[in-house]
Structure 1
Amino acid sequence: MYAIHQMPRFKEPPVLIHAFTGYVDAGGAVRMTIDHLLEHCEHELIATFDVDAVMDFRARRPVLSYSVDHFTGVDIPSIQLHEVTDSKGDSFLLLSGPEPDYQWMRFIAAVSGLGHRLGIRLAVAVSGIPWPAPHTRPLGITVHGSDPELVRGFRSVVGEVEVPGHMGAMLEFHLAQDGFDSMGITAQVPHYLSQFQYPQGAQTLINGLSRVTGLELPVDGLDPLAAQATREISDQLAGNDEFATVVTALEHQYDQTIGAPPGSLMSDEPVPTGDEIAAQLESFLRDLDAGDGKPDV
């Protein structure tokens, strides 16, 4: 299932961050988080998973490069485990790559076995979902975990919901069953931006990871990209009355449900409850599952 390239030696039990692209990756939040951490942090390859065993290349065909009269290369996806060093010099593990298509339970068992072998103290999943919120307000996060202590200090607005399984959530659940402290962080990306690259989603995930793990993860490098995205969205907003109306309505809803201080009076205009937000999320993921399962970000 995987090949070990080298075994790291940790001073303290490490955190495992697992991040999979292709399904619950609204705004490219997960993909940009992976790319940013590997670009701005020192890292070494620990293990590589056998993508032939878990990937469907007919569903996600590798990209071939062609020049004039011959093929020059092919981009084969990979699922890799890296040892990564944060800004303080603390090491953690990053498992990343496209979500597997096949042999989910074997893959989960392999990751759990590696977790025991490497002595991880905490496993954290990252994901991004479309959310009924405007880009003009701070992005929210949904934090969930196997122990109430892991999510202390975070507010949840989602009630009970059933959604199609995805590898991040499956790992989060099964690692907890195997005795690990296990949790997840989900960036709430404005739903009208979920199909576009939205660096603010990656910023939210990285800041959230720093908060829940104690790691010091670099995020400044995303600032120029986020500023550019904001300018481009503002340009679109200025020339589209319908878009502006939607954003204004979402701002009003956000200020009522999130921005209002405890005990403040609310207007009589109905706003979504936690169960209604959960139903919207459930509907989106079911629609996604009915399609190709791979939003184009």
Structure 2
Amino acid sequence: MLDPQGIYEVDVEAVRRTLGSSQAEGADGPGPVLVHALSGFVDAGAAGELAVEHLLERFEVTRLATFDVDALLDYRSRRPVMTFDADRYVGYDDPFLVVDHLRDAEGTGFLLLHGVEPDLQWERVVAGVRGLVERFGVSLTIGLHGIPMGVPHTRPASLTAHGTREGLVDDYSSYFGRVQVPGSLAALLEHRLGQTEHDAMGVTVHVPHYLAQSRYVPAAVVALEHLEKATGLALSTEGLSEAAEAARVEVAELVSENDEVAAVVRRLEEQYDAFARSVGRTSLLAQDGELPTADELGAEFERFLAQRDDQ
């Protein structure tokens, strides 16, 4: 493996201003929390993306570390967006992967790793992040994202929490047994941090599968609320909660206007309620009958919205 420190640059002066002596491993008191949410992997409802947007808009941001994205992306498989205006190119959405320092509503500092998930050199990037975790004295690393599930929007949101040791997620129920899933850099980071005895965990919000492709604000609120629970940070979710309630109302209106979608939601409600009543059932994925797939139901939603726009 190439030197992990060669994959990023640290703004030493910014680190001194924001972290001071707390960056030293072994400093008095717990070190900062590192939150991460990367684009490119599954993020149903844009739960992690919306959470990051809220944090960046709400709190003071200082850039601490910048990764060499040009060495990490396969541009031909994931092409950045460029803007063409009449007779020339006028803009380019630069991909990035960075660590920022933020201060919450009470002035407590924390770190945020955000940007694109690398296509290449995962182990080197993970080793680099682990080096920053140790350099900055990070006390807990926690990831946020959403996954599509057969759950209705009308019931309390559920989630899967996972951690690198006992005690980190004892307050959460597990909805899955032993399964194999596609890998992600976020999952590999959590796994490797656990192997080196660093505390790390993740909050994975279960998003109704018929809303997985939308920007579903309630999913981000759930992610941030559980981030607060795990870390004690004050993340000012009040404004976002208002947007979440508006999103719920809009979805309810759309569902009420389409009998096929409403019927599926009722089936999901029955399944959810049966699971809630049954101690013996071990998975929210268990189904008593066939339900439409996410693609089928998403297509139905798209047809319905298109009809609505034409009226």
**Number of equivalences:** 269
Task: List alignment gaps of at least 5 residues for structure 1.
Answer: 267-271, 278-283, 285-297
> Aligned to 1:2, which of 3, 8, 13?
8
In 2: Cα distance, 1:152 partner to 1:273 partner: 17
> Aligned to 1:95, which of 95, 99, 113?
113
Q: Is structure 2 residue 220 aligned with structure 1 residue 214?
A: no
Bigger mean CA deviation after superposition, 56-65 or 25-34: 56-65
Q: Which residue of 1 aligns with 2:59?
A: 41
Q: Is structure 2 residue 183 aligned with structure 1 residue 165?
A: yes
Q: Which residue of 1 aligns with 2:69?
A: 51
In 2: Cα distance, 1:151 partner to 1:38 partner: 26
The Cα shift of 1:93 comes to 0.7
Q: Which residue of 1 aligns with 2:205?
A: 187
Q: Which residue of 1 aligns with 2:272?
A: 254
1:213–1:170 Cα change, 3 Å: same
Could you list the runs of 4 or more consecutive aligned residues of structure 1 that deviate by over 4 angstroms after TM superposition? none
Percent identity (aligned): 42
The Cα shift of 1:232 comes to 2.4
Q: Is structure 2 residue 283 aligned with structure 1 residue 274?
A: yes
Q: Which residue of 2 aligns with 1:242?
A: 260
Per-residue Cα deviation, 1:213-265 (whole angstroms, up to 9, x for no partner): 1111121221343233223212221221110111011111111212x386xxx
In 2: Cα distance, 1:145 partner to 1:223 partner: 27
Q: Does the 8 A contact of 2:217 with 2:243 survive in 1?
A: yes
Equivalent residue of 2:176, what SS? coil
Q: Is structure 2 residue 222 aligned with structure 1 residue 204?
A: yes
Task: List alignment gaps of at least 5 residues for structure 2.
Answer: 1-6, 23-28, 287-292, 294-311
In 1: Cα distance, 2:285 partner to 2:147 partner: 15
Equivalent residue of 1:253, what SS? helix
Compute the TM-score of the two structures, normalised by the length of structure 2.
0.82
In 2: Cα distance, 1:273 partner to 1:48 partner: 42
The Cα shift of 1:12 comes to 4.1
Q: Which residue of 1 aligns with 2:102?
A: 84
**For the pair shown, which has the larger CA radius of gyration, 1 or 2?**
2
In 2: Cα distance, 1:25 partner to 1:276 partner: 18
The Cα shift of 1:276 comes to 5.0
Equivalent residue of 1:246, what SS? helix
Q: Which residue of 2 aligns with 1:280?
A: none
Q: Is structure 2 residue 194 aligned with structure 1 residue 176?
A: yes
Per-residue Cα deviation, 1:238-296 (whole angstroms, up to 9, x for no partner): 221110111011111111212x386xxx9xxxxx642955xxxxxx9xxxxxxxxxxxx
The Cα shift of 1:122 comes to 0.8
Tell me which amino acid in the other structure corresponds to 1:52.
Answer: D
Q: Which residue of 2 aligns with 1:294?
A: none
Per-residue Cα deviation, 1:116-157 (whole angstroms, up to 9, x for no partner): 111111111112101111001121111111111001211112
1:135–1:2 Cα change, 3 Å: same
In 1: Cα distance, 2:177 partner to 2:163 partner: 15
Tell me which amino acid in the other structure corresponds to 2:264.
Answer: V
The Cα shift of 1:182 comes to 1.0
Equivalent residue of 2:167, what SS? helix
Compute the TM-score of the two structures, normalised by the length of structure 1.
0.86
Equivalent residue of 2:105, what SS? coil
Q: Which residue of 2 aligns with 1:16?
A: 34
In 1: Cα distance, 2:254 partner to 2:97 partner: 37
1:205–1:275 Cα change, 3 Å: closer
Q: Does the 8 A contact of 2:160 with 2:203 survive in 1?
A: yes
Q: Which residue of 2 aligns with 1:148?
A: 166
